[in-house]
Structure 1
Amino acid sequence: MNVLIVHAHPEPQSFNTAMKSLAAETLTAAGHTVEVSDLYAMGWNPVASDADFSGRKNPEYMTYALEQRHGYESGSIAPDIAAEIEKLKRADLVIFNFPLFWFSVPAMMKGWFDRVLVSGLCYGGMRFYDQGGLKGKKALVTLTLGGREHMFGPEAIHGELVDGMLRPILRGTLAYTGMTVLPPFIGYHIPYLKPEARAQILEEYKAYLGRLDELEPLRFPRMEEFDAKLFPLPKG
């Protein structure tokens, strides 16, 4: 399969970057084709703006999503966005690799979402969730953070991780655009671990990558469960 790794970490020697490199090496060795978008190394521009279009459909007032649609269809979208879109279109699996910043993604990654997941291709109209434009592609979030595992959960100090703070990413971005979302791989307490513990996490990640086909995807809404006005249909 074709794999795209979108990586956002400011330190090339970080453990998070080691995870990115391990994924690329492991999946390539398994016979897959791997592309990497290292956003910091690329100097990726995370700011969605008028500069993303060489020509505007409405020069008087910018609705970014509508200009995205026009820019993609007319070929007037910025070259850096167009290049990432082509990588995304080729991918069967997209791995989003990043450290958790303030219960969310780094600005670089958020800017990739904002600028690359364009209206008209990835979503639009009634094309979302299992009918989204990226239907058929898989997504895997791999992240590192400073907290310990017991700090996350229904009664824990920080609350739910997968069903809580990662919800805007897993549901509101990846599932919304039609991607099949695999359970995330999380490296806990990374800045404070000894080398032996870090090496163990990398071994666990390598094993995780070896059984991607066995993972049960996360469950999100399906359009068939709702009527034409998006009211839920009766169950049973």
Structure 2
Amino acid sequence: MNILLVHAHPESRSLNGALKEFTVQRLQSAGHLVQVSDLYAMQWKAAVDAEDSTQRLFTTRFDVAIESKHAFKNGFQSVDIAREQEKLLWADAVILQFPLWWYSMPAILKGWIERVYAFGFAYGVGEHSDTHWGDRFGEGTLAGKRAMLIVTAGGWESHYGPRGINGPIHDMLYPIQHGILFYPGFDVMPPYVVYRAGSTDERRFTHICDELGQRLDTLFSADPIAFRPQNKGDYNIPALTLRDDILPGQAGLSIHVADREY
């Protein structure tokens, strides 16, 4: 299978750098083809701006969505954006690997998403009607592919538990897993999270690699998170609210996961 690893850490000798090397070796040893987008090594430009299009539709005012749509549709995207889109289309699975900085992904990775997820590629796809509100949340350009996060966090696991001060880790990663990965169609695997990243010695690193290796070995066989598809009947369209008869009286992020076990 083809796998794209998008890596976002500035130091190759860090824990994240070591996990990147382990992940590539493990996947290749299993016979997979792997491409790596090492964003810091690539000196990836994170900011969306007018330079993302080689031929603007309007020159007096920069409208991000309109220019993104125009550039994607007409082949006017900058070379770096088009190249990353080709990698996404090539891949059967995508792994985003990054440290949890200020409760989210590093800015360089967010910038990769913002620039590569062009209008007409990752959003703005499909019809809008009384029964179908675009190809998204389970449908879209990247449907049929798998995705997974490998995340390191400085805090203890308890800090990210149900009563932890940071909030549950699944709630924290929800905007990434549901909003960035499930939105354009990916089947999203449960994340692999390394807690207390700064306290990793050689013995613990070996244990982490054992756990991560098992997760990588089942990347294409384990069950993904059971996010509810938008257009399969669970949501009122166009309001996009969960039907009243499903989990009545309940709210929060977890209601959008069908099996409620995640």
Question: For the superposition of Structure 1 and Structure 2, which TM-score range results when normalised by the shorter chain?
Answer: over 0.9
Q: Is the 8 A contact 1:183 1:215 kept in 2?
A: no
For the residues of structure 2 that align with 1:51 and 1:45, how far apart are their CA atoms?
10
- Runs (5+) with no aligned partner, structure 2: 126-133, 247-262
For the residues of structure 1 that align with 2:74 and 2:153, how far apart are their CA atoms?
41
Deviation at 1:234, TM superposition (A): 5.6
2:17 aligns to what? 17
Alignment coverage as a number of residue pairs: 235
Does residue 1:169 correspond to 2:161, yes or no?
A: no
One-letter code of the match for 1:201? I
For the residues of structure 1 that align with 2:11 and 2:52, how far apart are their CA atoms?
27
For each residue in 1:195-236, what CA deviation from the matched residue of structure 2 results, as whole angstroms up to 9, or x when unmatched?
A: 211221112111211122332211223112234423544648
Aligned counterpart in structure 2 of residue 218 of structure 1, from 213, 217, 225: 225
Query: Aligned pair in 2 of structure 1 residues 148, 127: CA closer, same or farther (>3 Å)?
Result: same
Structure holding more helix per residue: 1
Does residue 1:154 correspond to 2:162, yes or no?
A: yes
For the residues of structure 1 that align with 2:11 and 2:118, how far apart are their CA atoms?
28
One-letter code of the match for 1:7? H
Q: How does 1:17-96 map to 2 (within 5 A)?
A: 17-96=17-96
Deviation at 1:92, TM superposition (A): 0.7
For each residue in 1:166-200, what CA deviation from the matched residue of structure 2 results, as whole angstroms up to 9, or x when unmatched?
A: 11111111111111110000111111222211221
Deviation at 1:59, TM superposition (A): 2.4
Q: Is the 8 A contact 1:227 1:233 kept in 2?
A: yes
SS at match of 2:138: helix
One-letter code of the match for 1:130? G
Q: How does 1:114-193 map to 2 (within 5 A)?
A: 114-125=114-125, 126-162=134-170, 164-193=171-200
For the residues of structure 1 that align with 2:82 and 2:51, how far apart are their CA atoms?
13
One-letter code of the match for 1:199? T
Q: Report the more deviating stretch, 198-207 or 218-227.
A: 218-227
Q: CA RMSD in A?
A: 1.5
Q: Report the more deviating stretch, 100-109 or 116-125.
A: 116-125
One-letter code of the match for 2:165? I
Query: Aligned pair in 2 of structure 1 residues 57, 137: CA closer, same or farther (>3 Å)?
Result: same
Over the matched positions of the two proteins, sequence identity in percent amounts to: 38
Q: Is the 8 A contact 2:4 2:36 kept in 1?
A: yes
Q: Is the 8 A contact 1:190 1:198 kept in 2?
A: no
Deviation at 1:151, TM superposition (A): 1.2
- Runs (5+) with no aligned partner, structure 1: none
One-letter code of the match for 1:54? T
Q: Report the more deviating stretch, 8-17 or 151-160.
A: 151-160
One-letter code of the match for 1:102? W
Deviation at 1:58, TM superposition (A): 2.6
SS at match of 1:31: coil
For the residues of structure 1 that align with 2:141 and 2:220, how far apart are their CA atoms?
22
TM-score (norm: length of structure 1): 0.94
One-letter code of the match for 1:182? M
TM-score (norm: length of structure 2): 0.85
Deviation at 1:134, TM superposition (A): 1.2
